Structure 1
Amino acid sequence: MTLESALKAAREAYAERNPNSKAAYDTAVQVLPGGGTRTTLACEPFPIYIASGKGGEMTDVDGHVYKDFLSDFTSGIYGKSHPALQAAISKALTTGVQFGGHTTSEARFAAGLVARFPSMELVRFCNSGTEANLNAIGAALKHTKRKKVVVFEGAYHGSLLCRFSQNEPEDVPGVLRAPYVSEVSLSVKALLDPITTEIGAILVEPMLGAGGAVPGDPVFLEGLRELATRIGAVLIFDEVQTSRLSPGGRQALLGITPDMTTVGKYFGGGFAFGAFGGKREIMDMFDVRRPNPVSHGGTFNNSALTMVAGATALEQILTPEALSNLNALGDTMRDMLNSGFQTSGAPFKVTGLGSVNQIHCTLANELRNSAHDLLFFGLLERGYWTAQRGTLALNFQNTSEDVEEFVAAVVDAAQAVTVAANGN
């Protein structure tokens, strides 16, 4: 059996097990292009449709139960039904929603973020990591009175900025793509030195998230800090994913303070959320008490439910101890998976930090997608929810026992890939 024939058989078995998801998909494609509004969830021959979730598990419309090891691509850190969030949100619902005015939870939530991130002397809220990065870029360019932005190969800073990770820089005027390397190398300097007076912002993920859970080398990130200071640019850390690595994100672990920071995903307590903050001298541009302030609107920027959920999460759930334990569990899982792959000879390896990791296939390029798909279907059949591309993210409902069982399932599923790849 070849890899392609094994994948064909896996897809056929998947389709047979999930008739209700197929029916839901057939309905969806009548009104949604491709059947959905989130490309990352696309799946051939059709995606799974979820009926409910509780704790660390989800049940699909065909009644299959999955243990969640994707955590909505890092945003579902609390699991599906955290009691503290349920209680806070239920109470907030009784007082009303959509006020079109401020509530005290807004400043309460902001104070919690500012306390955790010294790089955020002041903060503003928005509705996603995409918005946070767009606003941070805009603020940086306004502050420096410059027009060029530096980003890095493999980075993902939101759906409106996805071209940054493609070979189409001409489609995003003013954007320069530099190598994501182990240090601020000659290649980076050669690209930037001739135009340093034009660069207003340097935007970087301390670890590539969607780009494969590739940690940025500390020397590289420190070099960017020095470079930004030297040329007068604003250094922005996109910690939308890496903020879960410690109460103050990866910047706190490394002792590097950027000029601005963006966050999102899980900080909203399960609701759509983003935030950008930075030095007072930058963020003061948004102060309406000043002459000619920068306008920043958004109907849901201070949504009453999001503010309550976010503040509750910071105060009661995202404690230093809880995050430390979760990330230690993720480190253990990564080591166990890599050990299992090495021992079994499976063509995979895992990279990442703490609770955010990525499975990579080590086969030749033309075989990698098929290998990832076959592993994905194998894990679904074994009752585990992951991403086709190999993304893994733990949540607070995952236990050490869950991780041990998951590792065994992954190594077992990977064996099927090994057999097929070898043509056995």
Structure 2
Amino acid sequence: MTNSAKKTHSAGLSGALAEAAERYSNANPNSAAQFSKALAAMPGGNTRSVLYYSPFPLAIARGEAARLWDADGHEYRDFIAEFSAGVYGHSNPVIRRAIDTALDGGINLSGHNLIETELAATVCDRFPTVERVRFTNSGTESNLLLLAAAKAYTKRPKIVVFNGGYHGGVLSFGSGQNPVNVPHEFLLATYNDIASVEALFNRHGREIAAILVEPMQGASGCIVGQPEFLRALRDLCTRFGALLAFDEVMTSRLAPGGMQALLDIKADLTSLGKYIGGGMSFGAFGGREDIMAQFDPRKHRALAHAGTFNNNVLTMSAGVAGLRELYTPQAAVELNQRGERFRDALNQQFAASGVAMRFFGLGSLMNFQPTDKEIRSVDDLAGMEHRLKDLFFFHMIENSVYMARRGYMTLSLPVTEQDMAHFESVSARFIERYRRLLPAS
């Protein structure tokens, strides 16, 4: 494409995006008003960065099953499911019953309760490498405690992480180091590039406490970890005496025992979160018994792990009900098989239309990207026309589909075949509507 053609194309894309944003603004005056109110009390009207997008975010009024309604009364098919935490959908009767039962017994019990052991045992049964587990209130907390455990156990200061990795609000490496990150001695490597990790170990090997890695980088666009890469990380840790820590806050839902079970890789430590708390605030970290024994309060100089709501009865009850009655191992297999078929159908649609766009991911987690080339790390996303994601987002919202503006989406249990068929139909209309602006295969 000539420079002149590139400028014309860019101008056309900018114009289409401006028109889409204007239609969005005109259709959602109550969400706009809600955002104006929020600006008076919160910086940028926001208390959770990922939820903001311009010109203003939708204000969601309520949800039911796999449906959402915004402040202007528009109904949406929910294809984001609380960024993977909402695997049960909204107000599932089994979860509600568990919460109601917990409420009847009192919320803040100020001691060990009768349900926390049930959830702990269920988690350890589900994830074989988690021999002992402790609960937190978020995935961020889980990873913070996991790193503390790794450093205390190995008596080493450094942690290997990856560009594009996301392990919570203060452990974010989407663009390398982040000013809000906790001040650990992080060593940055390139995802799916074992040579970059080997170079760090050759230089710092006996100072490295752990490798912290997502088996699939979720926040960066569902970039799948290659099995040979993840197995090589296991070998490196074993050889140098470091710990392998898998962040499965998101990926644990992709198979009954998480991705490490799917890949037959044994992590020393694992962080969990999202759906396991039944949709309530939840996080967990666990692993080898000898490492987790550092937190045993019966031991002299045990590591402290506080948290008023770590074992709160609402989360404990919802978590047990969800894992035992709803997201059983068989349900996990079936949902992720549905996700594979859905993603394949969308990608076949793009390919048949000669459009260089694809959904990347595994099972029920996926991300729209304006390319048909392999993506192995965030480096492969550089130079892409990411405004196409914005255009896709506004088109889907306009046609009653709710997803993340960055292209991320997940399937929840109540999503139906009709919902997925609607998504495919709306995606086809996007191709027809904007074909002149889309990259060709």
* TM-score normalised according to structure 2 size: 0.92
Q: In structure 1, what is the Cα distance between the partners aligned to 2:383 and 2:229? A: 31
- Correspondent of 1:11 among 6, 18, 21: 21
- Correspondent of 2:186 among 175, 191, 203: 175
Q: Which runs of 5+ in 1 are unaligned?
A: none
- Correspondent of 1:357 among 363, 366, 386: 366
Secondary structure of 2:50 counterpart: helix
Matches within 5 A, 1:10-409: 10-162=20-172, 164-168=173-177, 172-181=183-192, 184-185=194-195, 187-362=196-371, 368-409=385-426
Q: CA deviation at 1:100?
A: 1.5
Secondary structure of 2:61 counterpart: strand
- Deviates most, 266-275 or 364-373: 364-373
Q: In structure 2, what is the Cα distance between the partners aligned to 1:177 and 1:168? A: 8
Secondary structure of 2:192 counterpart: coil
- Deviates most, 303-312 or 170-179: 170-179
Partner of 2:4: none
Secondary structure of 2:270 counterpart: strand
Secondary structure of 2:144 counterpart: helix
Q: In structure 1, what is the Cα distance between the partners aligned to 2:28 and 2:176? A: 38
Secondary structure of 2:83 counterpart: coil
Is 1:78–1:396's contact at 8 Å kept on the other side of the alignment?
A: yes
Change (3 A) 1:362 1:415: farther
Q: CA deviation at 1:288?
A: 0.9
- Deviates most, 368-377 or 348-357: 368-377
Change (3 A) 1:358 1:292: same
Is 2:247–2:271's contact at 8 Å kept on the other side of the alignment?
A: yes
Output one character per residue of 1:71-101: Cα deviation in whole Å (capped at 9) or x when no partner.
Answer: 1111111011211001111121111101121
Q: In structure 1, what is the Cα distance between the partners aligned to 2:246 and 2:317? A: 26
Output one character per residue of 1:141-199: Cα deviation in whole Å (capped at 9) or x when no partner.
Answer: 0000000000112110000111x3323389744100111115x22x3212221211000
Is 2:88–2:414's contact at 8 Å kept on the other side of the alignment?
A: yes
- Deviates most, 25-34 or 346-355: 346-355
Partner of 2:6: none
Secondary structure of 1:202 counterpart: strand
Q: In structure 1, what is the Cα distance between the partners aligned to 2:113 and 2:184? A: 39
Is 2:160–2:189's contact at 8 Å kept on the other side of the alignment?
A: yes
Secondary structure of 2:306 counterpart: coil
For residue 55 of structure 2, what is the amino acid of its counterpart? P
Is 2:68–2:78's contact at 8 Å kept on the other side of the alignment?
A: yes
Output one character per residue of 1:351-378: Cα deviation in whole Å (capped at 9) or x when no partner.
Answer: 1000000110139966623211111010
For residue 369 of structure 1, what is the amino acid of its counterpart? H
For residue 40 of structure 1, what is the amino acid of its counterpart? V
Is 2:160–2:211's contact at 8 Å kept on the other side of the alignment?
A: yes
Q: In structure 2, what is the Cα distance between the partners aligned to 1:384 and 1:39? A: 21
After superposition, the CA RMSD in angstroms is 1.6
Q: Which runs of 5+ in 2 are unaligned?
A: 1-10, 373-380
Secondary structure of 2:386 counterpart: helix
Is 2:355–2:438's contact at 8 Å kept on the other side of the alignment?
A: no
Q: CA deviation at 1:25?
A: 0.6
Is 1:179–1:188's contact at 8 Å kept on the other side of the alignment?
A: yes
Q: CA deviation at 1:416?
A: 2.9
Q: In structure 1, what is the Cα distance between the partners aligned to 2:203 and 2:328? A: 45
Q: In structure 2, what is the Cα distance between the partners aligned to 1:224 and 1:339? A: 33
Q: In structure 2, what is the Cα distance between the partners aligned to 1:366 and 1:380? A: 26
Q: In structure 1, what is the Cα distance between the partners aligned to 2:347 and 2:437? A: 20
